[in-house]
Amino acid sequence: MGDREPRRRHVLRELREIEGLSPECERAALILERAHGSADAILEAFELVRRQRGNPRGVLTDNEQDLLRAMLVMAAAGLDSMIKQLIRDALPRLARGDETVREELEKFISRSIRGDPALAEPANAAKFLARVLTADSPQGKVIEEYIRELTGGSLQSASELNRVAAALGVQALRLDQNALREIFDVRNKIIHELDINLAGDRRRRHDRGVHDMTRFTTTLITTAERVLEAVHEKLVALPADA
């Protein structure tokens, strides 16, 4: 009995299992599973460090907070990687059979023909048309260009997540925009600013607590899971020849 592992105080919610997962979702599901496992392993390491320090109360040490930061960054990277894989694997079939996805694809074509500077890679209209019209499959080439546009950068904001959700036809999920904006703000402070608070005394870093960081991480994992499930349901509903 004395050798039993101490019970963890903080764990991430287990992922739901999707029955009969669509082939186009399999690699994305694997990425999500690995991201969840890695984030939870970092949380477990945090728990171990706290136990070794005697589970003290009060502000966490810098090292302990760095583990929580790493957990959140891992979950954000998992969300980014999973959605990009969904776009590569599922969007070609969705573009052929789902009306809402086709509408978003048509918007991309119109913007590319106009040479819209807001695109990640602003297209020269003449070159875009030349690449499409000379391809063996013009439709396939357009989808290839669209996938490159959607996966060219990293998901660093709620608005970017909304954009790719619309491309996949799952914008009706009504994701919690306020929560996601707060989480991406924290993620970006960690990634781009080392979480340093330049306005604080002695330029200290922002304090990060385990409850907030666990909640943020769970929200990212849950968001990824909801997108995956919604895309799977769309694919299942398509005709077999789509």
Looking up residue 40, the CATH number of its domain turns out to be 1.20.120
The single residue listed with the structure tokens 């297209």 is 123
Residue 51 covered by a domain: yes
129 in any annotated domain: no
Q: Does a structural domain hold residue 158?
A: yes
Tell me, what amino acid is at 4? R
Q: Would you say residue 139 lies in a domain? A: no
pLDDT tens profile 59-82? 899 999 999 999 999 999 999 999
Q: How confident is the model at residue 122 (pLDDT cuts 50, 70, 90)?
A: low
Question: In the numeric block, which tokens belong to residue 105?
Answer: 């694809």
pLDDT at 3: 54
Structure tokens at 163: 């954009």
State yes or no: pLDDT of 31 exceeds 70: yes
pLDDT at position 1 is 43
Q: CB-side exposure of 37: number of CA atoms within 13 Å? A: 6
Domain of 71? 24-97+152-163+170-198+205-235
Looking up tokens 């330029």, which residue turns up?
203
The tokens of 208 are what?
């990060």
Q: With beta carbons less than 8 A apart as the criterion, state whether 97 and 241 touch.
A: no
Is 82 part of a structural domain of the chain? yes
Positive or negative CA dihedral for 109, 114, 119, 124?
Answer: positive
Neighbours of 61 (CB within 10 A): 13
Q: Is there a contact between 83 and 44 (Cβ–Cβ < 8 Å)?
A: no
In percent, the amount of the chain with pLDDT more than 70 equals: 94
- For the chain, the first-to-last Cα distance in angstroms comes to 58
Structure tokens at 211: 């409850």
**Cα–Cα distance between 232 and 148 in angstroms, integer?**
22
Tally of structural domains, the chain:
1
Answer whether residue 36 is part of any domain: yes
Residue 164: phi, psi to the nearest 5?
-75, -30
Instruction: Give the phi and the psi of residue 125 in degrees, each rounded to 5.
Output: -55, -45
Which of helix, strand or coil describes residue 18? coil
Q: Which two tokens stand for residue 111?
A: 């913007």
Question: Per-residue pLDDT for 17 more than 80?
Answer: yes
